[in-house]
Structures are given as C-alpha cells and as structure tokens.
Amino acid sequence: MLSYRHAFHAGNHADVLKHLVLVLTLDYYLRKDKPFWYIDTHAGGGLYQLSSAEAQKTREFAQGIQTLWKASDIPEALEPYRQQIRALNPGTKLNYYPGSPWLAANLLRNTDQLRLFELHPSDFTALNQNLGSDKRVHVSKQDGLKGLLGLLPPITRRAVTLIDPSYELKTDYNDVISTLSKAHQRFATGTYLLWYPVIERQRVKQMATALQQTGIPGILQLEYCPLADSTGMGMTGSGLFIINPPWLLAGQMQTLLPWLNQQMAHGNGHFTVAYITPEKNT
C-alpha cells in the first residue's frame, strides 16, 4: 500500500484524458457566477518535473502530452487544456506537467475553494509545498474516500469531485463505487469524475454494472485506449464514469477522442462515449 507514485506516469495518455475532461468540466462550472468547491480525493504532488528520474524512467509522457505539445490544427475544445500546459512551460521545451490540483488552482476564482486529500507522505509534502500557501486550498493527509463523505453536501451546493485512486488494492474497485453511491445520496447535484484504468476489461464491466445498480441517472462513460485490450500488459487505456456531466461534454469528447487517438496512437486505439444509465426525464 502507498507504493504508487504518480511521478512515474505524469503526462501519459491517461493523464491527458483525465485532465482534459477535468478542464472542460471546471470551465463549464466557471460560466456561472456562483462559487463552487473542487474536491480531489487522491491529489498527488500537484506538479511534476518531466526531467526527473521517475518520469525519465518510464517516459510515458512521450506518448501522451508530448504528442500534443507541438500539434497543429488542434480542436477548439482542447485549447483550454493546452493553454494550462503552456502556462507551466512558457518556452519551447516541455519541462513540467501539472497534476489535477494545480490545474484546478489555476482555473478557479478567488471565491472558489479546493479540498485536497493525499495519504502518501512524500506526495503530501510536495502538495503542501506546491499549493499549501494558497488561501483557497485545504490539504488533508487523510483517506480521500472517507474525507469526501465528510465534506458533503458543501456549503456552496456546487462541487466538482475527482476520484482517481491508484487501484493498487483490488478492494479499490468496490470502494470507489460504494463511496460514489453514498456521496450521491448526500449530494445528488454535484459532478463526480471517477477515473479508472483499463487493465482487465472484466473489471471495467463490473464497475459499470455496479454503477448501473445504484440507480443514479445519466452516468456518462468516457474511455480512451491507445492499445488493444490485453491481459498481462498493464494499463492499455483508461476512462471516466461521470455523474452529472456538463451537458456539452459528450459532444465535445465525440469530437476530441478521434483527434487524440490519431495523435497518440496513429488512429490505432479505440474509444467510448456513452451513457451507461438513462438520463433523468425533465
């Protein structure tokens, strides 16, 4: 437990998908004047140096954010995400990659708040160093799944929550569904982004079935896999289950995923944009 370090994987294809969706979601929330909370259950260190020994050991960013760094003719909906990467790297070289807390902190307003959870001692220290001085930010060294439930419902009655554990423990797959169901019972109108790795297809199907059994309406599944499904090859892709997604998001991703697939896998990957539960009747 707690052996996972995101520094080895920063900027890979899974980060691109997760952070692109996060930026689009936060951008949608920012269109209203009313403040909101950003809650991150597994925040990580917040910021990653791509020249570090960890990042260079795997160089996963080379098939992820590096492919987008100098791409031309990018879709309009991808530009806000790439602008955030460029803000971190004002020169011509890609040196740093932001974690989800850094992205949120740079997008949110003075009236918004960030609630960040991280248990790993080294990442907790880094997170505090990177964002702890920001008065909008509260960092907790606590189990983020338990911490999330203690925050709901937020006083703002508006919140975006990212849940993205490492899934080091097999129990994580069940724990995230249980937590998400309880969170929705406490705060049904919030937007929840549940990230998952594609390692064994059967586990993804089990997660989808479990979410369908919660009865939560309008759950959107977004998935991108640069590699074909395969057992024993590690993570071949990743996805998100989204509760209360922005109404524009499905359409945006239907445009963006084919383009991303071309950039990161030369068109050889596969992707999904689908609602796994019926949308609520209005």
Catalytic residues: 164
* 232 among annotated binding-site residues: no
* 147 among annotated binding-site residues: no
The rounded distance, in Å, linking the Cα atoms of 200 and 33 is 42
21 and 222 in contact (C-beta within 8 Å)?
A: yes
* 118 among annotated binding-site residues: yes
* 218 among annotated binding-site residues: no
Residue type, 224: Y
The rounded distance, in Å, linking the Cα atoms of 234 and 232 is 6
* 269 among annotated binding-site residues: no
* 190 among annotated binding-site residues: no
The rounded distance, in Å, linking the Cα atoms of 56 and 187 is 41
Dihedral sign from CA coordinates of 276, 217, 143, 171 = negative
The runs of H, that is alpha helices, within the chain are 13-29, 53-58, 65-69, 79-88, 100-107, 121-131, 144-151, 171-186, 201-213, 249-265
* 27 among annotated binding-site residues: no
Annotated binding-site residue numbers: 19, 42, 100, 118, 143-144, 164
Annotated binding-site residue numbers for S-adenosyl-L-methionine: 19, 42, 100, 118, 143-144, 164
